[in-house]
């Protein structure tokens, strides 16, 4: 038995312990609430940042759609905004999840839930697989088995089926005649590569990933090895060479189609070429046939060539015998193509106004000047800004008549563009007379006036475009690829790359999936006679693919 004093002391200790426990629980609850509140605020801030980035991205896209490419940096700016939005959107979703975990531990706070856009239905053409979760057979409330089924709730979730490799065994049966003892066997099917080691889709995927998605073969080898398929780099490289041989007839047909155009876009870009101690500078040249801006019926196509140095002999060799319109920049080695005596009929030169505009833009671009001055006062040229206003008016009119026929476009240009051109020429000659020839604006003016005839040819010919952007767009894939494959290993490799760029680029210009097209080409090209080989060209291929679908639907 405890004494009364000891009992009172024990009771007091228990009371104090209970009070301390309550205080500790309240402190813990307050800490959890504070943590949840902090997580909630972070989630709200992250959501606001993501919303702001999304609005900036949408604003820039709308500005680009409404006013056109207001600067040469606009595409890069959109790419940067998309990357920023991507990161902030991921941050906001992560913060929302962390906030929900923190709120689950709290006692008084609810989690912040982001407001998301309305869910869009998936393409009805996608294959569906149903996973049925059966309803209970007995009522969970009373245990009755007398249940009636109501309309089920269906939730659609997009899932990706992992790529799967398989080995196809082709068995060719063999028979022997008991009478004559002759052995018969059906012929082996066509295989792109010797011994039929790889199927058409595997080969098309190998080529498309290398030249269309810019994944070097060593990266593809490592990915295949991670999937349990061990193949040497030399084996994969052999397949690329075999596909190049099989697809070359189509390249020759595309070459003939492009060089038969009335008007071509031409341009070039650098590609490093592996040398003994360093990389040499080689070139990929492209010539684009695209008659859609003047309503031409011919399908678009791109033709690429490879060369080591950048010399005029290469375009002269590429375009030997061509006598149409060539839209190019002011590269000096193109000049021989437009001189009398070089061919029976010299080509017509059409210069690119985007190149001319760029020189004025760089002098009026505040952001560029701030970058050059590194925080100093930007030196924006008012004369360059004035020239830009003239040129932008011309571009605005050209956007209105894109897609009209070659007969309609010159009349609009003579009525609305020609007065602007004459006023711009008068202004430039006046300013050139008072500026030093070393002045940057004077150099930009000289770029135009030194070949004014080449810049004004478009006024009388509706087939000519104002810019050479069609050729520059097709070379963007080469520029993106340089960051992945770094260099071409040999001149033969450069020529092979140019051929593949031609095939893949032409497919994309015609709205054809390059991978599906290349797969079908490798399946059928050996069985088609020479007279029907044109059926495999991208624009013919998609037409033949659509025809059976229309007949079946009818």
What's the pLDDT score for residue 551?
Answer: 36
What's the pLDDT score for residue 419?
Answer: 92
**Tokens 């360093």 label which residue?**
278
- Calculate what percentage of the chain has a pLDDT beyond 70: 82
Is residue 9 scored above 50 in pLDDT? yes
Q: pLDDT band at residue 549, thresholds of 50, 70 and 90?
A: very low
pLDDT digits 0-9 by tens, 221-255: 888 888 878 887 777 887 888 888 888 899 999 99
Written as one string, the DSSP assignment of 310-341 is --THHHHHHTTT--SEEEE---GGGGGGGSTT
Whole-angstrom CA distances from 475 to 9, 85, 349, 352, 439 are 90, 27, 21, 16, 32
Mean of the pLDDT values across residues 448-463?
A: 89
What's the pLDDT score for residue 438?
Answer: 85
What's the pLDDT score for residue 72?
Answer: 47
Residue 247: half-sphere exposure toward Cβ, Cα within 13 Å: 31
Is residue 506 scored above 90 in pLDDT? yes
The helix or strand, by DSSP H or E, that contains position 23, with its residue range, turns out to be helix 4-67
Residue 400, both tokens:
């209105």
Is residue 349 scored above 80 in pLDDT? yes
Q: pLDDT band at residue 188, thresholds of 50, 70 and 90?
A: confident
Domain range summary for the chain, segments of one domain joined by +: 9-105, 248-505
Give burial (CB, 10 Å; 0-12/13-18/19+) of 459.
middle
CB 292 within 8 A of CB 480: no
Mean of the pLDDT values across residues 430-453?
A: 87
CB 491 within 8 A of CB 273: yes
Q: pLDDT band at residue 263, thresholds of 50, 70 and 90?
A: very high
Is residue 432 scored above 80 in pLDDT? yes
pLDDT digits 0-9 by tens, 315-332: 888 888 888 889 888 776
CA 329 from chain centre, in angstroms, equals 24
Mean of the pLDDT values across residues 91-105?
A: 75
Secondary structure E strands in 95-207 = 175-176, 183-184
- Calculate what percentage of the chain has a pLDDT beyond 90: 16
């Amino acid at each position: 038995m405890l004494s009364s004093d000891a009992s009172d002391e024990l009771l007091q200790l228990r009371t104090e312990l209970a009070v301390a426990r309550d205080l500790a629980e309240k402190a813990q609850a307050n800490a959890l609430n504070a943590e949840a509140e902090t997580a909630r605020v972070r989630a709200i801030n992250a959501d606001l940042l993501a919303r702001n980035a999304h609005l900036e991205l949408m604003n820039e896209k709308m500005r680009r759609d409404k006013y056109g490419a207001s600067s040469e940096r606009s595409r890069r700016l959109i790419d940067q905004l998309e990357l920023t939005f991507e990161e902030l959107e991921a941050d906001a979703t992560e913060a929302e999840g962390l906030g929900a975990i923190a709120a689950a531990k709290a006692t008084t706070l609810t989690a912040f839930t982001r407001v998301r856009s309305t869910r869009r239905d998936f393409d009805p053409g996608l294959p569906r697989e149903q996973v049925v979760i059966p309803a209970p057979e007995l009522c969970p409330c009373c245990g009755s088995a007398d249940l009636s089924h109501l309309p089920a709730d269906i939730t659609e979730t997009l899932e990706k089926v992992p790529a799967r490799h398989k080995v196809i065994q082709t068995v060719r049966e063999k028979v022997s005649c008991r009478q004559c003892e002759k052995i018969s066997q059906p012929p082996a099917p066509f295989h792109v590569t010797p011994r039929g080691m790889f199927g058409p889709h595997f080969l098309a995927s190998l080529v498309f990933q290398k030249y269309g998605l810019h994944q070097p073969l060593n990266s593809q080898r490592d990915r295949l090895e991670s999937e349990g398929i061990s193949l040497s780099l030399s084996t994969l490289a052999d397949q690329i060479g075999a596909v190049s041989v099989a697809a070359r007839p189509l390249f020759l047909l595309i070459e003939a189609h492009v060089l038969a155009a009335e008007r071509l876009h031409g341009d070039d870009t650098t590609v490093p070429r592996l040398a003994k101690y360093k990389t040499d500078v080689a070139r990929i040249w492209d010539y684009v046939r695209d008659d859609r801006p003047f309503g031409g019926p011919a399908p678009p196509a791109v033709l690429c060539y490879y060369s080591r140095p950048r010399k005029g002999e290469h375009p002269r060799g590429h375009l030997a015998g061509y006598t149409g319109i060539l839209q190019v920049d002011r590269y000096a080695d193109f000049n021989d193509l437009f001189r009398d005596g070089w061919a029976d009929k010299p080509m017509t030169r059409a210069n690119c106004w985007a190149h001319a505009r760029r020189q004025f833009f760089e002098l009026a671009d505040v952001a560029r000047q701030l970058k050059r001055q590194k925080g100093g006062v930007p030196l924006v040229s008012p004369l360059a800004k004035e020239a830009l206003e003239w040129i932008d008016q011309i571009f605005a009119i050209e956007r209105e008549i894109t897609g009209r026929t070659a007969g309609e476009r010159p009349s609009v240009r003579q009525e609305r563009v020609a007065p602007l051109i004459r006023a711009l020429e008068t202004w430039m000659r006046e300013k050139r007379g008072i500026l030093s020839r070393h002045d940057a604006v004077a150099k930009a003016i000289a770029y135009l006036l030194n070949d004014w005839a080449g810049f004004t040819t478009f006024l009388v010919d509706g087939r000519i475009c104002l810019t050479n952007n069609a050729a520059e767009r097709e070379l963007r894939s080469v520029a993106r690829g340089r960051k992945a494959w770094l260099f071409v290993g040999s001149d033969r490799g450069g020529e092979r790359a140019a051929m593949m760029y031609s095939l893949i680029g032409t497919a994309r210009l015609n709205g054809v999936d390059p991978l599906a097209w290349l797969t079908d080409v490798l399946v059928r090209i050996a069985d088609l006679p020479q007279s029907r080989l044109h059926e495999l060209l991208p624009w013919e291929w998609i037409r033949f693919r659509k025809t059976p679908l229309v007949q079946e639907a009818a």
